[in-house]
């Protein structure tokens, strides 16, 4: 199988794409692209490379039908600079190969993430692990930033004091907060990278990791544009319904006068109708999916 060079990917190798206030994502290397996916898929019946249009159609078919192993032939390696609290979410994607800067060997730099004012919001009332959509007022947000900056400075001063006392770096580093920036090399095949993007571009993912995922999506588009387009079409922009949700959708379609009716709660069951089998919570999730589909 010939080495696959993608000019668009070559053009952005080692270029830093900024994220957050001090972070970045950089494509260090890649193996293969759309052509490699198509070649891997066709090897079972011995046909060589086709035209780009035929390759794109094949890739679209493969992703649509969840034949994902050919996508694992493409591998991307990134250099990422990110806050530690984001890295702790990132590392949960265990199919990657990771090397991170070590505070046992290196003196950590005084670089900390400071959220923008519009990212500072109270705890959400309906999401136990997230923030509200309504940020604090400017005065409150400014005060929060001052408190965070004060904590960063105090922690780093104590860290350097411990280092100057001769304490081993591997122990002194425990004085540093989660807002400290770290760096890592992160390598993942395209199939699992799409899985990462599906989860981390979701509206329920934390805002800061979503910002990194947006940049990685655009970099991935340079490496494998046809595969990325299929991923967006059938995964990122799609809504998946459970069996009971499909039956609820069918029930609504039977009595709806317009598509708008289907996506609202005004389509209720009459006495002669078959009632919904979804619970209140399940109906709320169903409604959320319908609204998401309308927005897309």
**DSSP strand E in the chain: where?**
16-19, 23-31, 75-83, 97-100, 181-189
* Number of residues assigned to the chain: 296
| Distances, alpha carbon 80 to alpha carbons 17, 75, 172, 187, in Å | 10, 16, 24, 11
Tokens of 80: 């990422």
Residue 66 phi/psi, 5° resolution?
Answer: 60, 35
Q: Are 83 and 181 in contact (CB under 8 A)?
A: yes
Which residue, 241, 239, 247, is CA-closest to 276?
A: 247
200 tagged catalytic: yes
Catalytic option among 173, 200, 251, 252 = 200
Those residues with Cβ within 8 angstroms of residue 179's Cβ, 6 or more apart along the chain or in another chain: 83, 84, 85, 112, 113, 114, 148, 152
Burial of residue 210, with CB atoms counted within 10 A of its CB: 0-12 exposed, 13-18 middle, 19 or more buried: middle
Q: How big is the CA angle at 61 (ends 60 and 63), to the nearest 5 degrees?
A: 65
Three-state DSSP class for 205? coil
Which residue, 61, 24, 208, is CA-closest to 130?
A: 208
Catalytically annotated residues: 200
């Amino acid at each position: 199988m010939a080495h696959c060079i993608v000019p668009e990917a070559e053009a952005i190798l080692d270029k830093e794409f900024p994220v957050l206030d001090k972070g970045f994502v950089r494509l260090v290397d890649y193996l293969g692209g759309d052509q490699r996916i198509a070649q891997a898929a066709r090897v079972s019946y011995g046909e060589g490379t086709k035209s780009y249009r035929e390759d794109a159609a094949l890739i679209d078919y493969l992703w649509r039908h969840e034949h994902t192993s050919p996508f694992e032939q493409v591998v991307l390696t990134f250099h990422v600079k990110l806050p530690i609290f984001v890295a702790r979410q990132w590392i949960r994607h265990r199919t990657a190969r990771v090397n991170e800067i070590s505070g046992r060997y290196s003196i950590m730099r005084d670089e900390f993430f400071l959220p923008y004012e519009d990212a500072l919001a109270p705890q959400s009332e309906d999401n136990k692990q997230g923030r509200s959509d309504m940020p604090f007022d400017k005065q409150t947000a400014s005060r929060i930033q001052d408190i965070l900056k004060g904590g960063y400075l105090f922690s780093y001063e104590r860290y350097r004091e411990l280092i100057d006392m001769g304490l081993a770096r591997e122990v002194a580093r425990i004085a540093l907060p989660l807002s400290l920036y770290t760096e890592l090399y992160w390598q993942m095949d395209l199939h699992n990278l799409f899985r990462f993007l599906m989860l981390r571009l979701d509206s329920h993912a934390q805002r800061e990791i979503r910002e990194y995922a947006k940049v990685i999506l655009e970099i991935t588009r340079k490496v494998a544009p046809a595969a990325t387009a299929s991923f967006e079409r059938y995964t990122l922009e799609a809504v998946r319904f459970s069996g009971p949700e499909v039956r609820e959708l069918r029930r609504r379609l039977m009595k709806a006068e317009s598509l708008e009716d289907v996506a609202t709660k005004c389509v209720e069951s009459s006495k002669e109708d078959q009632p919904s089998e979804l619970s209140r919570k399940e109906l709320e999730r169903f409604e959320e999916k319908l609204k998401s589909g309308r927005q897309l």
